[in-house]
């Protein structure tokens, strides 16, 4: 814990001024903001996420568009300011001008796990490399869960590689905070039987949820921000852990309980970890269908295809991809699983030579580049009419999420795996 003086010092340190930043390049964009690589007056490289202030204020006032949009932007900044872990970002500065709001974290020169996997010969990682990255992700999620934070959007694009080769989990705008109870309460109580719904009713509910998404124009790479319940969290009698009812996530990685809308808790992050480990092993996600409806159907009803001999890694993936969150493997069980039992959990963060050490880009060569006006740039990216955005989303629905997009001129398509998005 920090004392009051330290908090006061942090607040003074966190103020950023555009005039004192050298904007080197645009790294990419997410649903709400553009990310820039910037250098401070002291020579420190940061990733600055800039959001159009007018869009934030509009969504704050016009609550019928999305009542949670403004809250999410504020929540992400609050989360960043509370994190103190080597695998998670630190809030390095907050920016506020008449046109934009923004915040900065450390720049990760290794880009993301997706781009690293795509560079492998067969676009897959070896078991030893998967073990290292899996262990670090377990530690990062365990820390977040200890703070009561459910991450909810674990995917390779949100896992960056730091200068030292260790991971950094970024992008907290889909996260939420539940009551600060131990996530292990859920794993202990999951053995208690709860009233089972009749098979017919369960099947009807699943079909009704799938029909709801039949005509969706959201592309496979898009994140879903819909809130179906009007409130973000609910308490359920069947479980001792507070749950959220928000419908959020990225299509290929969404847990079954989020699709069903019965409420979800920390267990959704372990499902996402299972999808990620599957992707690192096989080079593809386990439930991808021809469209969103089919993907959700497979998530709800199909077991993962764990082709190959039975190995500890495949066994762990199967336990993570357990569709019933009450039966899904928990953090203590994960750390003691055969695949990870050889991991020295106290030493892994000190490992001097992770599997991949990134090279720093030649930043000095970029000093002669044309000066980027951050405010105008963000305005230009987000001044696309709603109808044009919707049409672009429809047109990109069946496009592969791995497609490379040159430049940053296509807002509806830029949310792809090759860009730094947080």
Among 350, 371, 393, the domain-final residue is 350
In this structure, the answer to whether residues 80 and 120 fall within a common structural domain is no
Domain membership flag for residue 399: no
In a domain, 134, yes or no: yes
Counting Cα atoms < 13 Å in the Cβ hemisphere of 420 gives 22
Instruction: Note whether residue 404 is domain-resident.
Output: no
Residues 366 and 276 grouped into a single domain: no
Q: Are residues 246 and 332 in the same domain?
A: yes
CB 287 within 8 A of CB 298: yes
Sign of CA dihedral 55, 68, 48, 369: negative
374 and 284 both lie in a single domain: no
Residue 368: per-residue pLDDT = 54
Alpha helices in 119-249 (DSSP H): 127-146, 184-189, 199-212
The rounded distance, in Å, linking the Cα atoms of 68 and 49 is 19
Q: Phi/psi at 214 (nearest 5 deg)?
A: -60, -45
Are 17 and 118 contained in the same domain?
no
Supply 340's token pair.
């990870």
Q: Cα separation of 66 and 70, whole Å?
A: 8
Within a domain: residue 246? yes
Residue 186 lies in a domain: yes
Residues 195 and 303 in one domain: yes
pLDDT at 106: 93
Q: What is the DSSP string of 26-76?
A: EEEE-SSEEEEEEE-TT--EEEEEEEEHHHHHHHHH-TTT-TTHHHHHHHH
**CATH number, residue 89:** 3.30.200.20
* Residue 420 in domain: no
Range of the domain at 297: 113-350
Through-space distance between the first and last CA atoms of the chain, rounded to whole angstroms? 26
Q: Please, is 277 exposed, middle or buried when counting C-beta atoms within 10 Å of its C-beta (0-12, 13-18, 19+)?
A: buried
Whether 64 and 177 map to the same domain: the answer is no
Pick the catalytic residue: 106, 153, 222, 239? 153
Mean pLDDT by 10 residues, the chain (422 residues): 44 74 87 88 91 73 51 79 95 90 92 91 90 97 95 93 95 83 46 43 50 38 41 40 71 92 92 97 95 95 96 98 96 97 93 89 59 88 53 38 27 28 30
Q: Partners of 23 in the beta sheet?
A: 38
Is 376 found in the same domain as 318? no
Residue 398 falls inside a structural domain: no
Domain-embedded: residue 422: no
Residue 363 has a CB neighbour count (10 Å cut-off) of 16
* Residue owning tokens 């934030």: 56
Among 332, 350, 368, identify where a domain stops: 350
Note whether 313 and 328 are same-domain residues: yes
Q: Residue 265 catalytic?
A: no
Mark whether 122 and 56 lie in a shared domain.
no
Same domain, 364 and 288: no
Phi then psi for residue 236, to 5 deg, are -115, 145
Distance CA 30, CA 412 (A): 10
Domains of the chain: total: 2
Could you give phi then psi for residue 276, rounded to 5 degrees?
A: -65, -45
Report the CATH number that the domain containing residue 261 is assigned in CATH: 1.10.510.10
State whether residue 37 is helix, strand or coil.
strand
Q: Are residues 217 and 189 in the same domain?
A: yes
């Amino acid at each position: 814990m920090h004392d009051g003086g330290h908090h006061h010092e942090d607040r003074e340190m966190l103020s950023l001024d555009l005039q004192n930043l050298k904007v080197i390049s645009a790294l990419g964009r997410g649903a709400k903001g553009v990310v820039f690589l910037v250098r401070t007056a002291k020579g420190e490289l940061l990733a600055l996420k800039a959001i159009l202030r007018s869009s934030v204020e509009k969504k704050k006032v016009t609550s019928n568009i999305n009542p949670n949009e403004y809250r999410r932007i504020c929540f992400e900044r609050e989360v960043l300011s509370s994190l103190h872990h080597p695998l998670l970002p630190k809030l390095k500065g907050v920016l506020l001008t008449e046109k934009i709001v923004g915040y900065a974290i450390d720049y990760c020169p290794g880009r993301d796990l997706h781009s690293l996997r795509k560079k492998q010969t067969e676009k897959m990682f070896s078991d030893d490399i998967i073990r290292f990255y899996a262990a670090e992700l377990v530690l990062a999620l365990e820390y977040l869960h200890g703070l009561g934070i459910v991450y909810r959007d674990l995917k390779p694009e949100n896992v960056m590689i730091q200068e030292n080769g260790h991971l950094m989990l970024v992008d907290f705008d889909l996260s939420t905070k539940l009551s600060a109870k131990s996530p292990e309460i859920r794993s202990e109580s999951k053995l208690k039987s709860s009233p089972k719904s009749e098979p017919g009713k369960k099947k009807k509910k699943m079909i009704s949820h799938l029909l709801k998404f039949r005509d969706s124009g959201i592309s496979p790479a898009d994140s879903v921000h819909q809130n179906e319940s009007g409130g973000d969290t609910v308490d359920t009698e069947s479980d001792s852990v507070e749950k959220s009812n928000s419908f959020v996530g990225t299509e290929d990685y969404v847990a079954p309980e989020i699709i069903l809308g019965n409420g979800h808790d920390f267990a959704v992050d372990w499902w996402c970890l299972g999808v990620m480990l599957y992707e690192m092993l096989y080079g593809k996600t386990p439930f991808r269908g021809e469209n969103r409806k089919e993907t959700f159907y497979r998530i709800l009803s199909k077991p993962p295809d764990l082709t190959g001999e039975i190995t500890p890694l495949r066994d762990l993936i199967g336990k993570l991809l357990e569709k019933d969150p009450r039966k899904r493997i928990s953090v203590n069980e994960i750390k003691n699983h055969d695949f990870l039992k050889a991991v020295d959990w106290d030493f892994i963060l000190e490992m001097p030579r992770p599997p991949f050490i990134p090279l720093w880009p030649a930043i000095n060569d970029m000093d002669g580049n044309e000066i980027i006006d951050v405010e105008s740039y963000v305005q230009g990216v987000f001044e696309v009419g709603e109808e044009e955005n919707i049409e672009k989303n429809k047109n990109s629905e069946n496009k592969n999420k791995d497609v490379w997009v040159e430049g940053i001129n296509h807002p509806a398509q830029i949310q792809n795996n090759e860009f730094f998005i947080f």
